[in-house]
Chains A and B, each alone.
Chain A
Amino acid sequence: MSQTMTPARVTPPPAPTDRRQRRRRPPHVVRRSIWTGALTAFVLVIVVYPLVWLVLGSLKTQSEFLNNPTFALPESWTNFSNYVTAVTDGNLGTYARNSVLAVFPSLAITILLGVAAGFALEVMVWKGRGTTLLLFLAGIMVPGQMILLPLFTMYFEVGITGTLWPLIITYSAIGLPLTVFMMATFFRNVPREIFEAATLDGANIFRTFFSIGLPLVRNAIFTVALVQFFFIWNDLLIALTFTNRDDLRTIQVGLLNFRGQFGQVDYGPTFAAICLNVFGTLAIYLFLNQRVMKGMTAGSVKG
């Protein structure tokens, strides 16, 4: 992706004369690059080692955990029994399925509604659109705790507790403020003349939206969807509140209760379960990292 090429600043060589005088790398340059290497290695070890340790741990047996030093490598590199235990006894398969069933429909709803609203708020001309945008923005600030209890009462009265619907509905709504905000920003960067030309050529507003607006912000929609995916997939608060049965739990709630189920002592399956949870996001990040980084920082108002 083009983002990879973001021109990292080239700090010019210390001073031109410096270079010409000393052809071979002078000692202070060598020292400098050793320092750079060491510092880079230090940063990477801090970030990467815990994850490596996690994967190594998922391959160890219980006795290895208790008897071998914590830095030891696993005795067998093909011991995947922990993963089997995590998925079968730990119910991780069910939890992952619930997550998928809750996350993707809400993602689709949020994006669909949010993109249309962003278009109406930024491209179309009407009184009160500034206020409406502010109203949506205010939603970014409101902590989830403020809406939890009334929602619980509502879902209870309507009688949809005990299904995944509370999750889908809540996620769709909670994602809206950020989606609307980001989409409005993206539409703002599209030259107005394009939409005006389309209407002059006789396109009605829906044609302008579907044939002109959407294709222009297609990339942005994908970025927003990606950001929202991580927020919803990693959510704990909503999922914890509205999943009142074990077979409704999302992967995060399931993982939280995992240690309870096996007790803190059953290390192998716990490590394997954490690994499985991490791998999902890792896989996405592996392919789309530049876009994720761009999108996440663009959505940083969410904090």
Chain B
Amino acid sequence: MRHVLGDKRAIALLLGPALLVYTLVMLVPVVWSFGYTFFEGNAITGFEPVGLDNFTRLLHDPDVRTATWFTVRFAVLLTLVQVIVGYLLALFYVFVLRRSSGIVRTLVFFPVVLPTVAVALLFQQLFESAPRTGPVNALLEAVGIGSVDWFASGTTAFWVIIAMETWRSMGFYAVLLYAGLVDIPEETLESARLDGASGFRLVRHIVVPLSLPVLLSAVIFSINGTLKVFDSVLALTNGGPGNQTTPLTLYMYQTSFTYGEYGYGSSIALLLTMFCLVVTLVIFRSSRRDLTKA
């Protein structure tokens, strides 16, 4: 039996193709891209070695600073909003809707599967101010606040991206966290109720502490995804106005393909990868700690 399940030839045949494709199309390019950071040029014009110039430039480029700041601010804020809104929805499903939450869960999840480009174009129209007043501005006018030109300033555009991403993903986090809430044993809740805890106090002292592990993993998934935000920003604001809503991903893309600077583009990609690596290492450490606890 051992020799059947440990058959070297079979392993090579089953694993080989996947490993080969994965190595050629992902691992090799990662190393290659790292190599590009010491060069300047592109696929069409050829490359020239420039030593560490790309890294010096990376340190002093104000656009990199803007992009990094945007990326971090976006990832942290969106993670908080996504997880909190998702958690509130999950609490709503479990404690208020109870058995009848199925249809609501399914409906609220739906935007998750929509193409980002389609959602972004939809939100452009929702938040439009001129030449036509979109629904959001129409509502604001009706309340007496007045219309806002959302895409004219970096701050308001930032909030539109956050709103759109929240709309898109809250159902996802709600379902993820819902699974964690359902796992809390009924007896625990019951005994807390008998002890007089109810409503907010029950949630604050019993439910939240018990769902901390699943909350933590939701935060991790969210950070990991939001650091790589690209489609939504590109399609919604294209980084504008100016470069005020340009994340590192988009800045890398523009540098590489609009200006044909592969070397510098690779350096920005490397910076982004470093961010993701740090986050992943934190994930590993925290998940390991959880394992030992269990």
A residues lining the B interface (CB < 8 Å):
4, 6-12, 36, 39-40, 43-44, 46-51, 53-54, 57, 65-66, 69-71, 109, 113-114, 116-117, 119-121, 123-126, 132, 135-136, 139, 141-154, 156-157, 169-170, 172-174, 176-177, 180, 195-196, 199-200, 203-206, 208-209, 230, 233-237, 240-241, 251-252, 255-256, 258-259, 265, 267, 270-271, 274, 277-278, 281-282, 284-285, 289-290, 292-293, 296-297, 300-303
Contact = CB atoms under 8 A, between A and B. Distances in A.
B197 interface: no
B293 interface: no
B253 A145 contact: yes
Given A117-B18, A208-B4, A281-B114, A290 B106 contact: yes
20 contacts: A8-B97, A8-B99, A49-B135, A54-B125, A109-B21, A117-B14, A117-B15, A126-B11, A143-B273, A150-B28, A172-B21, A205-B7, A233-B115, A236-B234, A258-B121, A290-B106, A293-B109, A296-B113, A301-B224, A303-B225
A153 B32 CA distance: 10
Contacts of A40: 97, 104
A91 B175 CA distance: 37
B22 A176 contact: yes
Contact of A292 (B111, B113, B190): B113
A205 B5 contact: yes
Nearest to A284: B113
B159 interface: no
B4 to A, nearest CB: 4
Contact of A237 (B224, B225, B227, B231): B231
Contacts of A8: 93-94, 97-102, 182
A300 B225 CA distance: 9
Contacts of B181: 9
Contacts of B235: 236, 256
B18 A114 contact: yes
B108 interface: yes
Nearest to B6: A125
B270 interface: yes
A149 B115 contact: no
Given A8-B102, A234-B115, A285-B110, A146 B189 contact: no
B133 A70 contact: yes
A244 B54 CA distance: 27
A50 B221 CA distance: 26
